Structures are given as C-alpha cells and as structure tokens.
Amino acid sequence: MSFLRDLVVDREVAAAIDSIPNNINSLGYDPWGLNPEAAKTYFSLAKLIYSYFRPNVVGIENLPAGRVLIVPNHSGQLPFDALTVATACLLKAQPPRLVRSMAERWFPTLPWVNIAFSRSGVVVGDPINCRNLLDDDNAILVFPEGARGSGKVFQERYKLRDFGRGFMRLALQTGTPVVPVGVVGGEESIISVYDWKAGAKMLGMPYMPISPLLPVLGPLAYLPMPVRFHITFGEPLHFTGPFDDEDSEIDKKVRVVMEAVDSLIAKGRSGRKGLFT
C-alpha cells in the first residue's frame, strides 16, 4: 500500500501540506478526521483534476495570513469549483493554505466520499464547526449559495442565488476577513438544463441535473468538459458590528460580499477569449 501511495503522492502537494502547521494528535488525526498523510493522496488526485481545468488563478495574494473566510460563487453540479479553489490555495497561495471546506450536511451519509472528504479537511457546514476552526486561525471555504448555487441550470448561469447569512455572522463574531472569489468555468463544464426535483427527492439528493447531452451520451453527459476555469480572488473585506444583529442589518453586509463576488465573476468572464482558453 505504501509504495502505491508513494506513486500517487505528488511532491509539490506533499511539500505544501508538510509546510502547514496543524492540530493533529499522536495518531495523526484532528477531531474532524483530517489526516495530513491521507490528505496528500487526496490532494494529489485533486491536483490532476485541477490540471484538467487549467485554472487561471488571479489575485490569490489577497489571501491574508491567519483566519479567513473564502467566499466564492457556487456552480457546476458537482463541487469541482470547491476542489479547484482549495487546490489553488494549497499550491498557489503564499504561504500554502489547507482550506477547511464547509460541505452539505448529507456528505457524511455518502459511503467512501465521507472518508475522503474528512481526511482532506472537509467538515459539515455547521456554525459551531466553523467557529471552532476560525478560532484556530484556519482558512474556511464556504459557499453561501449552498446547493441552490451548484444546482443552477444553464439558463441561470452566473446569476448569484441569495447568500445565506451564517458566514457573515461568523465573520462578525470571530473578527474574520472575507475574501470574495469569482469562479468562472464551472457553469459550462457540466451543463444542466433542467432540475428534476421529483428524481432528486426520490434519491435523497438536493437536486438532479438533466444534461442536454443525456440522450446522446447517457451517463457520460455528466463528465465535466475541459472548460478552463478563471478564479479571481478579491481584496479582503472587513466587517464590524454585532453578529446577532437583525437579519435586515446582516443582509446589508451580505449584499456587499455578493456585489464583490458578482464583479469578480464579471472580471473573469470578460477576461476569457473562449471556453477552453
């Protein structure tokens, strides 16, 4: 097994993970199940997928040291946007960051996926998890659009769904800067023209995308196309005020982040010459 792992583990990934301070016990785990050695394997596989999308990463120097909430738009049916942003933070940020992604509450129910996610630092998107990790000065990757964002149909592409307020309350409570991110490319890599809600309900999924290529390609229609990703990190936004303020007050601050993400998406879209370049 160990020689197989040596074969898979990418040196750049291993060096980056080794350089990051962590909070693991004598058996190699943190309370959420992060295991840096296993994370090396999973991030090496992630790097292959990352290379497939050839992301153009702009502005990652905006990522501050210490605690930070990284807030991108969500798209693309499968969480390849999370994977590319997390891999970019590991390989391109100075110093490298092992982001802790906030995932849907049903991920622990998915066999094997739950193990891969936990070992690489993904946690259930819960305010207490988030606060504990911010208190330890982690970088948190959170998609406030949630599944409503990633399940968007093609006609609605790059139109932000309303952000949740949880991330803003946590930013205020823990004094954490918010780095807005625009991810462009996800919407075109797996195309959904219809969200089949009855099917989703039947299978216990948050949405069920129907690809226009389904009649031609069958299940292969859900393989992502090698669209080039453009990931633009904005400058950190600092917010002050009571974290337990009324929703309407929190919404005003959330609106600022949404506008920042919107303009970063626009920047990314105007910068690209074609889908694959």
Cβ–Cβ < 8 Å for 240, 68: no
Helix, coil or strand: residue 188: helix
For another protein, the closer of residues 59 and 108 by Cβ is: 108
110 vs 275, beta carbon nearer another protein: 110
Nearest distance in Å: CB 256, another protein: 28
- 118 counts as binding another protein under rule CB under 8 A: yes
Query: Are the C-beta atoms of residues 162 and 269 closer than 8 Å to each other?
Result: no
* Ramachandran area for residue 153 (φ above 0: left; ψ -120 to 50: alpha; else beta): beta
CB of 31 to another protein, least distance (A): 5
- Check: CB of residue 179 under 8 Å from CB of residue 70: yes
How near is the Cβ of 158 to another protein at its closest, in Å? Answer: 31
59, 64, 96, 108: which one contacts another protein (CB under 8 A)? 108
Q: Between 25 and 240, name the residue whose CB sits nearer to another protein.
A: 25
Q: Take residue 91 and report the two structure tokens written for it.
A: 């390989």
Rule CB under 8 A: say whether 114 interacts with another protein: yes
From the list 42-50, 110-118, 156-164, 253-261, the region that binds another protein by CB under 8 A is 110-118
Give the integer Cα–Cα distance in Å for 125 and 101.
8
Per CB under 8 A, 136 contacts another protein: no
Q: Which residues have CB under 8 Å from 20's CB, separation 6+?
A: 36, 95, 96, 97, 98
Shortest Å, Cβ 176 to another protein = 18
Q: Is 173 in the site for another protein (CB under 8 A)?
A: no
CA–CA distance, 165 with 155 (Å, rounded to integer)? 26
Contact range with another protein by CB under 8 A, out of 12-20, 66-74, 100-108, 194-202: 100-108
Using CA atoms, how far apart are residues 205 and 178, in angstroms rounded to an integer? 29
Q: Is 141 in the site for another protein (CB under 8 A)?
A: no
Cβ at position 206, least distance to another protein in Å: 14
Q: Which amino acid is at 195?
A: D
| In contact, 16 and 96? CB cutoff 8 Å | yes
Positions in 24-83 near another protein (CB under 8 A): 25-27, 29-33
Footprint of another protein (CB under 8 A): 25-27, 29-33, 105-112, 114-115, 118, 123-124, 126-129, 132
